[in-house]
Structure 1
Amino acid sequence: MVLLLGCDFSSAPTQRKPIVIAQGTLDGKVMRLAQLHTFATLDAWGDWLARTRVWVGGFDFPFGLPRELIVQLGWPVHWPLSMTHYAGLSRAAIRAEFAAFCAARPVGGKFAHRATDGPAGSSPSMKWVNPPVAFMLHAGVPRLLAAGAFFPAHDEPWAGRRAERIALEAYPGLLARELIGRRSYKADDRARQTPERRAARADLLDTLCAAGSERLGIRLALDAPQRVDLLADAQGDRLDAVLCLAQAAWAASRPGWGLPPKVDSLEGWIISA
């Protein structure tokens, strides 16, 4: 049975708000949560992934930038080269280049988007604030590459190649909206960690465990302590890791990792979008 991972990521993890990995397996249509791992540093996270030999993981950060942005900036248009170039930039340089790009564009169209952003309902991967997904890409992808990960949405040709570590881009908000609509279920700010958000987490978990995701055909199996743990995390990081785990489980059960027939390998794709 393949080892599945779901990762809620931070580009600046701490003991208080670590990176979270949910580890589990898929048996038929039932996904079982085995355990949760937390990492207070990027290097600890990357080292663990490199030591863990065989896995399929869904990671909650973008793996690519919009083609329009890359072409406009004159960066390499081959994904490995674009990532090498991007990893060599400082965050200050990234912010300056992206801000200049946005400043030259009209109101309402400041950011460039990837093709996957529409169906996924995700933030543009070039955003450096609220959320800073551009910096998450900058911190995460190089460490996945260093861990020996293989990227089906970006590596060409990938079909037929044997790889021990499969990295897929996930987005928990996509699955959460399917299960409970647009209800807010988490908040980093303690003042916004309300009973209403706790109730939304409870409904999300109950739906995922009882009926599961109709579209993905996957139901979550939890024991009572696991449910209490996920429900108690008002920041929602542990629950988001489990949602990414469900997306990874779905992809692992699908031909071609569930990716569309034609994916721009420079931009990539969010699984299940």
Structure 2
Amino acid sequence: MSSAPTAATARLIGVDFSSRPSRRKRIVLAQGERLGASVRLVSLLHFETLDALGHWLAAPGRWVGGFDLPFGLPRELVEHLGWPTDWQACMQYYAGLGRDEIRARFAAFCAARPVGGKFAHRGTDGPAGSSPSMKWVNPPVAFMLHAGVPLLLEAGAHLPGLHAGDPARVALEAYPGLLARELIGRRSYKSDSRAAQTPERLIARKDLLTALETGRTRLGLRLQLRPAQADALVQDASGDSLDAVLCLLQAAWGERCHAEGDALYGLPPAIDRLEGWIVTA
């Protein structure tokens, strides 16, 4: 089996992102290709710094990628804070803020709101079951946006519905939890804490991978793996490698939509052009 995507197909990538990557908590990038209804995993790459990922994304090459980080903030929040409501201007302003300032502004916004409605949400959060993109802890998706979107812009990526960039590098907002819940419900399959890396979570990863390989998903795609790859995905108890592959499948669905004539890669035509949307939601 070849170790690189064939020339006839677009390179697909799925990225499990971290806003503070390190040797212990690396960014994982899954590379693959779609052949009809099958998505073949080619390789897994690991990055210990944001700069290393940025260099990879900016290097010559064509790809369609699913990235596990939010691409926009809730319109309600942006308008309340008086920030630009043009997506690119908003992202440039946001990137210029420090994390302490972001935390302080978002915390003040939440403090003034009633219990049960502290956070502002994007339109995609309901269908996707995702955390609000302004959340700064557990998970710190606000900081993932702050760290990740500038890398995509610097790489010249095209973000359908949000930003016209290089059509050879297409970035889609992905959310692995959406696909995982479809296949194994609310069962937990990962943990960064060694004490919580239980046999039950190991079984859940095996079940999730089996469901992907047999194509038991509404995406109509089937994952192709070599035995060694399957073993590596199951043995990564953090779930980072499996999450990258879930993002890869979501990117493949968007790429197939585009191949069938959808300029938005499967995103709804009426998406909020400030907030963005999670692919497949």
TM-score, normalising length: structure 2: 0.94
Cα separation, 2, equivalents of 1:21 and 1:162: 20
Is 1:247–2:264 an aligned residue pair?
Answer: no
Q: What are the equivalent positions in structure 2 for 1:52-71 lying under 5 Å apart?
A: 52-71=60-79
**In the alignment, what sits opposite 2:176?**
172
Choose which of 128, 137, 141 in structure 1 pairs with 2:136: 128
Q: Which runs of 5+ in 1 are unaligned?
A: none
**Which residue of structure 2 lines up, in the alignment, with residue 101 of structure 1?**
109
Equivalent residues, number: 268
Corresponding residue number in structure 1 for 2:208? 204
Moved over 4 A (4+): none
CA offsets 1:209-244 (integer angstroms, 9 cap, x no match): 02342x100000001000010000000000000000
What does the per-residue CA deviation read over 1:24-66, in whole Å, with 9 as the maximum and x for residues that have no partner?
0000000000000000000000001101421100000000000
Residue 112 (structure 1) aligned to one of 116, 120, 124: 120
Instruction: Provide Cα deviations, 1:132-152, integer angstroms capped at 9, x if missing partner.
Output: 000000000001100111110
Q: Structure 2: which 5+ residue stretches go unaligned?
A: 1-8
Q: Is this contact kept in 2: 1:212–1:220, CA < 8 A? A: no
Compute the displacement of 1:83 (Å). Answer: 0.3
| Identical-pair percentage | 65
Which residue number in structure 2 is paired with residue 228 of structure 1? 231
Match of 1:257, SS? coil
Q: Secondary structure at the match of 2:43?
A: strand
Q: 1:143-162 to 2 correspondence within 5 Å?
A: 143-155=151-163
- Measure how far apart 1:153 and its partner are: 2.6
Structure 1 counterpart of 2:37, from 25, 29, 33: 29
> What is the aligned partner in structure 2 of residue 262 from structure 1?
270
The 2-side partners of 1:262 and 1:52 are apart by 32
Deviations 1:123-179 (A, max 9, x none): 000000000000000000001100111110312xx5xx8611101000000000011
- Please name the residue that 2:55 is paired with: 47
**RMSD over aligned Cα atoms:** 1.0
